[in-house]
Structure 1
Amino acid sequence: MHYSRSDSLDSLPLPLFCRMYCSDAAAKRYKYLRRILRFEQMDFEFAFWQMVYLFVSPQKVYRNFHYRKQTKAQFARDDPAFLVLLAMWLFVSSIGFALVLKLSFYGFLKFFLYVVLVDCIGIGILVATALWFVTNRLMVKPACRDQDVEWGYAFDVHLNAFFPVLFILHVVLVLLYHVFIAQPWFISLLFGNTLYLMAVGYYIYITFLGYSCLPILQNTQVLLYPLTGLIFFYVCSLALTTNISTIVMDFYYYRVA
């Protein structure tokens, strides 16, 4: 039996659905990654603008994705400049972590590879694939069944949401960790845990914006539901005087030292 792109997503067998859309995503991602060493073709100024506006006005960032869809027939980035800048941020912030945790050079390299391959890329692939699958299977409007959410766009949404997390937890927290956050004061506990609340809250909100701006999707507000669990966890951590920052720092230290 032949299945065309216009067939209803719900009518496709699961293995066929995965093969069709994973192959499309792989082809687009291959073209994207092929440009990753061609620095002269990357627009770093625009990528930096996106990073700034992910804090100031993330809606403007996703408005640009609409322009790309109109001009290049895809929502996903075709310029790896954002990913390269993100890797540079991770490298610099990893130096800060290495100093705070007093890691050796080998420990620094292990930490850097861990945050890049696991925290950023590994978790990003899992989250992007899960949301790509769920949105295509359950959230596409009936009138738009001939369209789909690109896997590359789902991964871009993760990268967008990850950058505020990186800045809050790998820059602000690291700078203040020894002088304030690691101190045995409740105000230190409150501040450190609030940073994690802000970081994860930003991730959820920017992820929601990324999918809610797609005209083919419906009921995207469900992507905000994890905020309720996040706030509950935050309140419990304060009630139990659990300093999340020190727990994470200890985890990283014993993971890479």
Structure 2
Amino acid sequence: MNAHINFPQRSGPSTFGSTLPTNTRPSDTTSLRMPRFFKRLFKFPQMDFEMAIWEMTALIIAPKKVFRKTKNTWHRPDPSFTYLLSFFLLLTSLAWSLAYADGVAKTIRITLVFIFGHFIGSSLVVSALAYFLVGRLLSGLPGRRRGLFGPPGDGEQLEFGYCFDVSIRAFFPLWVFLYVVQFLLMPVIAKDYWASLFFGNFLYLAAFGYYIIITFLGYNALPFLQHTELILTPFAVLVVVWFISLFGTNLPKHLAPVLWAGAALRKNV
């Protein structure tokens, strides 16, 4: 008589938009339970970089079109946007380093801080805060369990993966205004003139204003959240801070991205 082993069937939703069918073979269980985001992390041919470029363009001119449900999940298990924006940050870090850093060591430091500190690190922190605060305070379904990465079959759960999607897309305008435009205008907006102070500080108002608006649009797209307009509250505070800064605080001189990485602005800026 041949021995026969009955493998226990594992149940429960998977993460990042993948499902575990009931007829799954035991040998396939591990691979199917792995989040699709991580499975595609190094599969570059499967990444949709064209969609990522379209989203970056839309985030500036029509951000509302970016957030929509795809198949059975709001989260998109495609790291192409993260890779592409990280590459752009690499390029801008080299530009800031050539202009304001001395030596290879500081260049490497600025590059690492730009990508893993400013972008990835801050996005993870904001995603974690949004996952717990937005999911708890704005959910129209009290008592419902929130999926960490979210099963695709349940469209009424806040997914951590979706929170991360919103955060990295909201970071894109920050990159445009503070890492690109500010770098190009730095010789002008860092001067001791009120016009320089006004336009330099306006870049920060535009950058963080876009960040707040895109964050609001991201969560407002979820039909099971209520009172998402509360996310716009920091915008009023931002306007007040910007107005106060016009009385003598040149933000580019104190908040330029290269300063966050430990480099110093040259005196002739």
Question: If the TM-score is normalised by the length of the shorter chain, which range does it land in?
Answer: 0.7 to 0.9
The superposition leaves residues 118-158 of structure 1 with CA deviations (integer Å, 9 ceiling, x where unpaired) of: 11111111111111111221211138946321000001000
1:47 corresponds, among 52, 56, 64, to 52
Aligned ranges 1:169-188 → 2 under 5 Å = 169-178=178-187, 180-188=188-196
Pairing 1:113–2:129 present:
no
Aligned length: 229
Aligned ranges 1:1-257 → 2 under 5 Å = 24=15, 30-62=35-67, 65-66=68-69, 68=70, 71=71, 73-142=72-141, 145=144, 147-178=156-187, 180-239=188-247, 241-249=248-256, 252=259, 255-256=262-263
Contact kept? 1:161, 1:202, Cα under 8 Å: yes
What letter is aligned with 2:109?
A: K
Cα distance in 2 for partners of 1:124, 1:189 equals 28
Task: Summarize the Cα distance change of 1:97–1:29 in structure 2 as closer, same or farther, 3 Å threshold.
Answer: farther
Rg comparison, structure with higher value:
2
The more displaced of 111-120 and 220-229 is: 111-120
Task: Name the structure where helix makes up a greater proportion of residues.
Answer: 1
Aligned identity (percent) is 36
TM-score by length of 2: 0.78
Cα distance in 2 for partners of 1:127, 1:232 equals 22
Cα distance in 2 for partners of 1:136, 1:29 equals 24
Task: Please report how far the alpha carbon of residue 37 of structure 1 lies from its aligned counterpart in structure 2 after TM superposition.
Answer: 1.9
The more displaced of 247-256 and 162-171 is: 247-256
Task: Please report how far the alpha carbon of residue 246 of structure 1 lies from its aligned counterpart in structure 2 after TM superposition.
Answer: 0.8
What letter is aligned with 2:175?
A: L
Cα distance in 1 for partners of 2:178, 2:34 equals 28
The superposition leaves residues 30-88 of structure 1 with CA deviations (integer Å, 9 ceiling, x where unpaired) of: 431332221111111111000000001011111xx31x1xx1x2211111111111011
Task: Please report how far the alpha carbon of residue 177 of structure 1 lies from its aligned counterpart in structure 2 after TM superposition.
Answer: 0.3
Task: Summarize the Cα distance change of 1:110–1:40 in structure 2 as closer, same or farther, 3 Å threshold.
Answer: same
Cα distance in 2 for partners of 1:214, 1:55 equals 21
TM-score by length of 1: 0.82
Cα distance in 1 for partners of 2:244, 2:132 equals 32
Task: Summarize the Cα distance change of 1:249–1:142 in structure 2 as closer, same or farther, 3 Å threshold.
Answer: closer
Q: Which segments of 5 or more consecutive residues in structure 1 lack a partner in the other structure?
A: 1-19
What letter is aligned with 1:207?
A: T
Task: Summarize the Cα distance change of 1:29–1:134 in structure 2 as closer, same or farther, 3 Å threshold.
Answer: farther
